[in-house]
Structure 1
Amino acid sequence: MKKTLAALIVLALVGGFSWLLQLVYGAGITNMNNFVPWGLYIVGFMIFTGVAAGSLMLAGAAWLFDSLAGYRPYTKIITFLGVFCGLVGAGLFIFVDLGNPQRGIYMLLSPNLSSPQVWDAGILSLYGLTGSLLMYKLWMVSQGKAVAADMKNISRLAIGAGLLVIVTSFAFVLLVSSPAWNNPGEPVSFLFAAVIAALAVLMLALSHLQKVAYCAVPEPLVSRMGYVASLLLALELIFLVGEACIGFYAPYGEEAETVFWQLTGKGAAFYWAEILAILMGCMALARSKVKAGSWLALLAVFLIKYNLLQSQQLNPLLPFAGPSVYNPPALGVYIPSLPEVGTALGIVAVACIMGIIGLAKFKSFFAPREEV
């Protein structure tokens, strides 16, 4: 554990140094530009937001439905790792994406309430508040000051808050000038991806805690999570195939160009890697191969979000004026620069460090109890 923590601290320091480089030399050292203003940091934000939302839904469902009562002893761990560590990761990704950190003050002093970005901030705040209330109620239960019946209302709130992850998609769906994003099915895809990411992270975490003898986790509980993630991966695949079929049926127009760019164009390698990751993750989880399936599921979600961003940004409805060589189709694909990768890895490391130290320092609180 000490070696793992040391490696994560090194990664966090590398991330901090990479971010400082961006502050000193500007965003020019990243591969984001006027054509691709949303890159790796927004991908990370979407994934961590999904982990927080999915964890809220799982923790709430465990107390709302008796058929999921087996997960109740682990809801404190789920809430801490999934919700709070997830929010830390999501918040840091947005923070570094601002460029100048002082821009965050503008949102606080003069928020534009019609902006989906402000809605995202509100949703993250709601997650934090709901997670705190849920953790407080879980503490009450562990102290014998509350019973399962007292958890019903907060469980409904947790599930409802988690479902609001679809609001994160509005920053894309409401852009009518971006045909590939302006899709009514995108909010559902965001919901599926959120639950998949949360289940994958929690399966890896619970399996590791079982391995290091932190707590006993029955294998059937983890396998059931894998089956649900497998089903949702299959539904994501159906959504992707549906989009491709629409592009084939009407092979003209702006949205069709984006579809063909992914299928046979410069974005094909990423697109088919996404399809392969979904298929392999789905099969692995269906066969109860938790570790491999969870990593493949996370890779699939990463590629889903990555391709969502680059496919539309590199195939805009109206390209910029000027020579074609300066327009997105001539740029190929978006590949994050080393400072971007370093910063992103540092943020992931910070979230992991928080989880490791938190679980170690408060083991007596997080350890599952039979009476729960």
Structure 2
Amino acid sequence: MELFKRNKAATAVLIVLACVGVGAWIYQLMGGLAVTGMSNGVSWGAYITMFMFFVGLSAGGLIVASSASVFHIKAFKQVAMPAVILSTVCICLAGMFVLIDLGGIQRVWRVVTGPNPASPLVWDICVITCYLVINILYLHFMRKGAERAVAMVSRFALPCAILVHSVTAWIFGLQIAKEGWFSAIMAPIFMASAMDSGLALLLIVLSALNASGRFKTPKELIASLAGLLATCIAVDAYFIFCEVLTMGYPGAAGAETLALMVTGPTAPFFWFEVIGGLLVPFCVLVFAKNRAKTGLVVGASVLVVAGVLCKRVWLLFTSFIGQNVAGAPGVMTADGWAMAGSYAPTLVEVTIIVGVVSVGALGFMALASKLLQPAAEEETVPAATSRTSAPELEFDPQVA
């Protein structure tokens, strides 16, 4: 594996972190979810936060790759393979966090024997499974060079990518008892943030592959994807503004939740996302001259990914600050009954998360080493061909 050989020190560190993470997970299996910071007051924690985050990260790659075939955008075909590899790894990590959050892997069989068809959680499991299968088929057909099969899978991949993020959003958006989640535009908010975080991660990975010499992406294509990222950031910011305006309008029921969001315990995450994850990257990428500079594109992309992670934090935990029912007797804590629960991830949770991310990084390196065409081989393509395919997002006139 070429990437492993070129990055021996990084590979060794990732293997160690992955092993430590597995050890922490075994410890959690032995002690149960009591070793985490979760409780009956805050039933979802860092694992579900990372689940939402990685589901979103998987969007950008598959949408870019499928758009190459569905909308005949020739330039996107150049990065279809690394994009789908990234999407596959991210959706696998999202599934791993769900299994870890169950507390015991032996509970998985209940999904088959006792599913509740009315539950968005069951919908999400079905859609994520289909999403993973589509990613695997996509990789298989691209490796075989079966363009007709790739085009066929693309037509299912694009709506499935939209559906998987919509269903994940409905897990929260249909929770009537949580004012911060119960929203008709929760699915569009998830979809918009999935697009900008997924595209941002793809740009970071493509730049890293460029630097390693394993896979070359033309600067013109990087700039074009960065322009698309700027558009997605603007759409994401618009949906957030709509939600905040609706919650904060005089007389609206969500004013108290909004106050917690902007001034409460989760306020630092909210303001970092607004300023660092939306405003700053947009101001950088909206100018064409900045999009031509790879360093600025990567920096803005890192801010976008960090901002979306912060969004997942404030979105999840702000609604846990208040009680589901006014006047509820409280929740059980180590010191007895309390009127509200509190949460902070324990060392066990942090270790497991780092281990899972390390497994994902190793998985991407393995797949990239096996499936990506080396840059040296790409350079054998005549320069004239490169010039016609790389600079612009040309649309193939053929009909779908």
The Cα shift of 1:42 comes to: 0.9
Q: 1:217 to 1:113 in 2, by over 3 A?
A: same
User: Cα deviations across residues 1-43 of structure 1 (Å, max 9, x unaligned)?
Assistant: 1111111112212222222232223322222111211111111
Aligned Cα root-mean-square deviation (Å): 2.4
Q: Which secondary structure state, in structure 1, belongs to the residue aligned with residue 105 of structure 2?
A: coil
Contact between 1:50 and 1:197, CA under 8 Å: does it hold in 2? yes
> What is the CA deviation profile of residues 184-213 of structure 1, one whole-angstrom value per residue up to 9, with x for unaligned ones?
111001111111222122111111111111
Partner residue of 1:29? 35
Paired residue for 1:16? 22
1:321 and 2:329 matched: yes
In terms of mean alpha carbon deviation, does 315-324 or 17-26 score higher?
315-324
Q: Tell me the alpha carbon deviations over residues 36-78 of structure 1, each in whole angstroms, 9 at most, x when there is no partner.
A: 1111111111122222233222111012223x21121321221
Residues in 1 aligned to 2:153 and 2:41: alpha-carbon distance in whole angstroms: 43
**Other-structure match for 1:109:** 113
> Structure 1 residue 49 and structure 2 residue 58: aligned?
no
Do 1:54 and 1:194's aligned partners in 2 also have CA atoms closer than 8 Å? yes
1:94 aligns with 2:84: no
Q: Which amino acid aligns with 1:316?
A: Q
Equivalent position amino acid for 2:132 in 1: G
In structure 2, relative to structure 1, the CA distance for the partners of 1:54 and 1:316 (3 Å cut) is farther
Q: Does residue 85 of structure 2 align to residue 80 of structure 1?
A: yes
CA–CA distance in 1 between the matches of 2:43 and 2:227? Answer: 36
Question: Structure 2 counterpart of 1:69, which letter?
Answer: K
Larger CA deviation: 319-328 vs 275-284 = 319-328
Q: Is residue 356 from structure 1 mapped to residue 362 from structure 2 by the alignment?
A: no
Alpha-carbon separation, structure 2, partners of 1:174 and 1:13: 38
Q: 9-18 or 344-353: which moved more?
A: 9-18
**1:131 alignment counterpart:** 135
1:293 to 291, 297, 300: 300
State whether structure 2 residue 302 is matched by structure 1 residue 302. no
| Counterpart contact for 2:266–2:313, Cα < 8 Å | no
CA contact (8 A) 1:89 1:348 kept: yes
Do the aligned partners of residues 13 and 251 (structure 1) sit closer, same or farther apart at CA in structure 2, a change above 3 Å counting?
A: farther
CA contact (8 A) 1:60 1:158 kept: yes
C-alpha distance 323-81 of structure 1, shift in aligned 2 (>3 A): closer
Give the whole-Å Cα distance in 2 for the aligned partners of 1:323 and 1:61: 48
Change (3 A) 1:25 1:140: closer
Output the CA distance in 2 between the equivalents of 1:323 and 1:60.
Answer: 47
> 1:338 aligned to 2:347?
yes
8 A contact 1:56–1:161 mirrored in 2 = no
Residues of 2 paired with 1:198 and 1:171: CA distance? 20
Q: What is the aligned partner in structure 2 of residue 190 from structure 1?
A: 190
Counterpart for residue 175 of structure 2? 175
Cα deviation digits, residues 227-277 of structure 1 (max 9, x gap): 222222222222223333333323564x22110011122332222122122
Judged with a 3 Å threshold, the aligned counterparts in structure 2 of structure 1 residues 15 and 299 are, in CA distance, closer, same or farther, namely: same
- Whichever residue aligns with residue 352 of structure 1, its letter is A
1:61 paired residue number: 67
Residue in structure 2 matched with residue 202 of structure 1 by the alignment? 202
Aligned amino acid, residue 258 of structure 2 = V
How far apart are 1:340 and its partner, in Å? Answer: 1.2
Match of 2:182, SS state, is coil
In structure 2, runs of 5+ residues without a counterpart are 1-6, 390-400
How far off its partner does 1:217 sit? Answer: 0.8
**SS of 1:55 mapped into structure 2:** helix
Equivalents in 2 of 1:22, 1:79: separation in Å?
32
Aligned length: 361
Structure 2 length-normalised TM: 0.83
**Contact 1:243 1:259 (8 Å CA) reproduced:** no
Q: CA deviation at 1:365?
A: 8.5
Change (3 A) 1:125 1:322: closer
Residue 312 of structure 1 aligns with which residue? 319
- Residue 367 of structure 2 aligns with an amino acid whose one-letter code is G
| Of 149-158 and 207-216, the range deviating more from structure 2 | 149-158
Identity %: 28
What SS does the corresponding residue of 2:300 show, helix, strand or coil?
helix
What residue identity is the alignment partner of 2:166? Answer: I
Show structure 1 runs of 5+ residues with no match.
none
Report if aligned partners of 2:214, 2:375 keep a CA contact under 8 Å in 1.
no
Q: 1-side partners of 2:331 and 2:17: how far apart?
A: 41
Residue 327 of structure 1, CA deviation: 2.3
Cα distance between partner residues in 2 of 1:51 and 1:367: 29
Deviations 1:301-351 (A, max 9, x none): 1111111100111123315304998123x74xx432221111111111101
Give the TM-score normalised by structure 1.
0.89
Task: Specify which of 56, 62, 70 is matched with residue 75 of structure 2.
Answer: 70
1 CA distance for matches of 2:189 and 2:46? 19
Q: What is the CA deviation profile of residues 269-290 of structure 1, one whole-angstrom value per residue up to 9, with x for unaligned ones?
A: 2221221222223233433212
Secondary structure of 1:313's counterpart equals coil
**Contact persistence 2:166–2:187 (CA under 8 A):** yes
Q: What amino acid is aligned across from residue 162 of structure 1 in structure 2?
A: A
